[in-house]
Amino acid sequence: MSIDQNTGRPSFKFISTGEVGTPASPNGIAYVTPIDLDGDNIYDYAYAGDILGNVWRFNLLSSNSNDWTSQPQKLFTAPAIQPISTKIIVTRMEQNGTSGDVILNFGTGMRKEGYLGGKTTYATGQQSIYGIRDKTALAFSMVPGTTTPQVDRSRMQRQVVHDGGKQDQLSNMKVDWNTKSGWYLDLTRPTINGKVEYEQVIYNPYLERGKYLIANTFIDGSNPVLSCRTVQSSGYTYPFEATSGSGLRGFFDNNFTGSSYRKQLNAVGAPILLRTTDGKLLLLTKDNQGNPNLHEVYLPESSSIRRISWREIF
């Protein structure tokens, strides 16, 4: 959808990716992230993930919207059973003090609402959080028609979770951008009441200062017929450096030379960071009853990476 700046009239343009799925496994896109690369306050591209695990780039460079229907560029395909149902977060790498290539951060997972009394279900199989590099985004804006090779997961840096209780340690592996195309972290698969559940991302991640990625995950609970023990749904909050996928040191404990952790906050919905009048940084979450919770968190004070785009509101 676009809006005429003079009349305010909306117009709609349908752009097909060509991958519609099947009746048994339909495809679709839930969120689209537009970006402005050259700072003219006009969107150049839009990024989106679909239910089949594909990441797409749509070319919006032309002033003629009829040109937007040209074949979208597929940048990445996640492994089988890794749907992308949340927003892709877009930022830029920092290279020698200047804004460089585009990084796309997203998680996989999906919630399927139960209709007419049916049970709500979630994605099965291994789910992950990703950061992939769109290496030709800036060059692409100068040369319409340029194609980009797909990012291969085998050429991405693996980050891991070291199990350690309610504050699980995150790895801090560096990404060698000469040989790697991004990073990924495979989420956990806990066994609850004898059944394997799959930790996944069903809420939009949050980007702070164009550099720090915060993601809430979800793990379905269990209420088996043959057991008296009901386990409520749960989830973790992950702080990352968006570019490398390295766990963000000091986020929960203000120790920037120590280890980095995820924390089991059992948060529902997208995370939000707030700054108080006395300078404290608070993470706002809510529980599965809708009750808000505030957690004091910490970030390094310096940050030179800029937002991918902005808009002045009059």
Segment 129-142, tens digit of pLDDT: 999 999 867 665 55
* pLDDT interval class at 304 (50, 70, 90): very low
> In the chain, how many domains are there?
1
Closest Cα to residue 283, out of 298, 273, 270? Answer: 273
Q: Which of 4-8, 147-151, 188-192 has the lowest mean pLDDT?
A: 4-8
Q: If you average pLDDT over every residue of the chain, what do you get?
A: 85
Q: Comparing 147 with 312, which gets the higher pLDDT?
A: 147
Q: What confidence score (pLDDT) does residue 303 get?
A: 46
Q: Percentage of the chain with pLDDT > 70?
A: 79
CA–CA separation, 94 vs 313, rounded Å? 28
Buried b (16+ CB within 10 A) or exposed e, 115-134: eeeeeeebbeebbbbbbbbb
Query: What sign does the CA torsion over 104, 107, 108, 110 have?
Result: negative
Q: Comparing 139 with 123, which gets the higher pLDDT?
A: 123
In a domain, 276, yes or no: yes
Closest Cα to residue 172, out of 184, 182, 160? Answer: 160
- The type of residue at 10 is P
Q: Comparing 278 with 224, which gets the higher pLDDT?
A: 278
Mean pLDDT in residue range 146-155: 84
Q: What confidence score (pLDDT) does residue 25 get?
A: 83
* Token reading at 81: 């059973």
In a domain, 150, yes or no: yes
The DSSP call for residue 120 is P
In a domain, 313, yes or no: no
Mean pLDDT in residue range 85-93: 93
221, burial (CB in 10 Å: exposed 0-12, middle 13-18, buried 19+): middle
In a domain, 173, yes or no: yes
pLDDT exceeds cutoff 60 at 62: yes
Segment 259-303, tens digit of pLDDT: 899 999 999 999 999 999 999 999 999 988 889 999 999 998 754
CA–CA separation, 3 vs 290, rounded Å? 34
Give the SS3 label for residue 43: coil
In a domain, 217, yes or no: yes
pTM for this entry: 0.87
Residues near 57 by beta carbon (within 8 Å), at least 6 away in sequence: 45, 46, 47, 72, 73, 75, 134, 137, 148
Q: What confidence score (pLDDT) does residue 173 get?
A: 94
3-state helix, strand, coil in the chain (%, to 5): 5, 40, 55
In a domain, 25, yes or no: yes
C-alpha count within 13 angstroms, C-beta hemisphere, residue 293: 15
Mean pLDDT in residue range 101-116: 90
In a domain, 314, yes or no: no
Q: What confidence score (pLDDT) does residue 64 get?
A: 64
Question: Which residue in this structure is represented by tokens 């793990």?
Answer: 219
Q: What confidence score (pLDDT) does residue 239 get?
A: 97
* pLDDT interval class at 306 (50, 70, 90): very low
Q: What confidence score (pLDDT) does residue 128 get?
A: 98
In a domain, 312, yes or no: no
pLDDT exceeds cutoff 90 at 83: yes
* Token reading at 39: 């700072």
* pLDDT interval class at 82 (50, 70, 90): very high
Residue 87 in contact with residue 115, Cβ under 8 Å? no
Instruction: Please work out, in degrees rounded to the nearest 5, the angle formed at the alpha carbon of residue 150 by the alpha carbons of 42 and 31.
Output: 45
Q: Comparing 193 with 15, which gets the higher pLDDT?
A: 193
Q: Could you tell me the residue range of the domain that residue 175 belongs to? A: 2-297
* pLDDT interval class at 48 (50, 70, 90): very high
pLDDT exceeds cutoff 70 at 183: yes
CA–CA separation, 158 vs 266, rounded Å? 25
Mean pLDDT in residue range 73-81: 92
